[in-house]
Amino acid sequence: MIPISKPLIGEEEKAAVIAVLESGQLAQGPRVEEFEEKFAALCGVKHAVATSSGTTALLAALLAHRIGFGDEVITTAFTFIASANSILFTGARPVFVDIDETSYNIDPNLIEEKITQRTKAILPVHLYGNPCDMQSIMDTAARRDLVVIEDACQAHAASIDGKRVGSFGTGCFSFYPSKNMTTGEGGMLTTDDDGIAEQARLIRHHGQSQLYHHESPGYNFRMTEMQAALGLVQLQKLPEWTRRRIENARYLDERLGNVITPRVGDGCVHVYHQYTIRVSADRDEALQRLANAGIGARVYYPVPIHQQPFYRELGFNDSLPVSERISQEVLSIPVHPGLSRAELDEIVREVSKL
Ligand SMILES: Cc1ncc(COP(=O)(O)O)c(C=O)c1O
């Protein structure tokens, strides 16, 4: 089976983790700090705050911006559940806006009509590694005095006109094993704002300013030294892996000529966390046929969040026709940097038969 994703762990990663284990410093320490500095440099921001996951990076970002009970946060329903669950966990309410039919990212033209007096933030998701229309989102946010928190969990090193995602608003990244780089589990918050960085650091560590002095509410969202050691090695490899993801996507584009893929905006660098196509015929059958042929295809995401049972119970009954339709039609095929030319050719051969 050609897997949909494959963490690439080499000898350097193994040596780096063993060195941490031998050092005796396992919890957050100097390697986390170094990883933060290097990740901030990658994103072109002043601060990066490492966390235990992408989900806790999102939660820390929302809390650092003082979002909580009674507030509303505008986001998309066509994403991984964490984008909305993190909002719910602050006590705020996610307000779903439909997606653009061509990019599958939040439709910036539909945001304004969902803004109320309770709206505090917009939380766009750079789905599959393809940047959202940040110009339009930032303009709306500035006009309506809203915070922007970017869910860049799938979009390491993606950019718009040379500016990295995660540097427009407060950025949140994930290092889950399927992501473009991994720390096993892990996350990162990025910001240029000194105050938000300070708040996020407090929230991550029980609001502790000095040892056993707690000045604000907080929790344990810390990253370990083992994770940071892995991340430091992976970060060095990210440019080459990103280049290969883009090259693999071009290879598929050229040979699968007739498939529909998400539109990439002008000036945007899509980093192909996923290579996603739309299938007009029966999607379940297409998935089965690919599985039988040894191609690990997956659907991201089959049920938009407002239609998840738990959200239904909470009273979400939006009509988001584009999200609902696209979720029935998409299918992602392997594009990761571990693919050989022979595997790419096999993927092309099988997908062309659908
Ligand atoms: C769009 C999106 N948001 C949030 C997350 C949450 O990240 P994590 O799994 O690291 O908590 C993920 C990844 O799983 C994701 O893909």
Tell me the mean pLDDT per 10 residues along the chain, length 354. Answer: 97 98 98 98 98 98 98 98 98 98 98 98 98 98 98 98 98 98 98 98 97 95 98 98 98 93 98 94 93 97 98 97 97 98 98 93
For residues 122 and 101, what is the distance between their CA atoms, to the nearest angstrom?
19
pLDDT of residue 167: 98
CA of 153 to the centre of ligand 1 (A): 5
Residues 6 or more apart in contact with residue 243 via CB below 8 angstroms? none
For residue 185, give the 3-state DSSP assignment: coil
CA of 169 to the centre of ligand 1 (A): 17
Pocket test for ligand 1, best of 58, 73, 88, 153 (most atoms within 8 A of CB): 153
- Can you give the pLDDT at residue 280? 73
| Nearest atom, ligand 1, residue 82 CA | 4
Ligand 1 pocket, residues with Cβ under 6 angstroms: 53-55, 79-80, 82-83, 125, 151, 153-154, 174, 176, 187
| CA 113 to each of CA 5, 76, 191: distance values in angstroms, whole numbers, following the listed order | 38, 14, 28
pTM exceeding 0.95: yes
- Pairing mode, if any, of strands 330-333 and 275-278? antiparallel
Q: How far apart are alpha carbons 107 and 98 in whole angstroms?
A: 6
Whole-number pLDDT of residue 257: 83
- What pLDDT does residue 28 have? 98
> What pLDDT shows up at residue 172?
99
Q: Which tokens belong to 91?
A: 């006590």
Half-sphere exposure of 88 (CA within 13 A, CB side): 13
For position 104, what pLDDT does the model report? 98
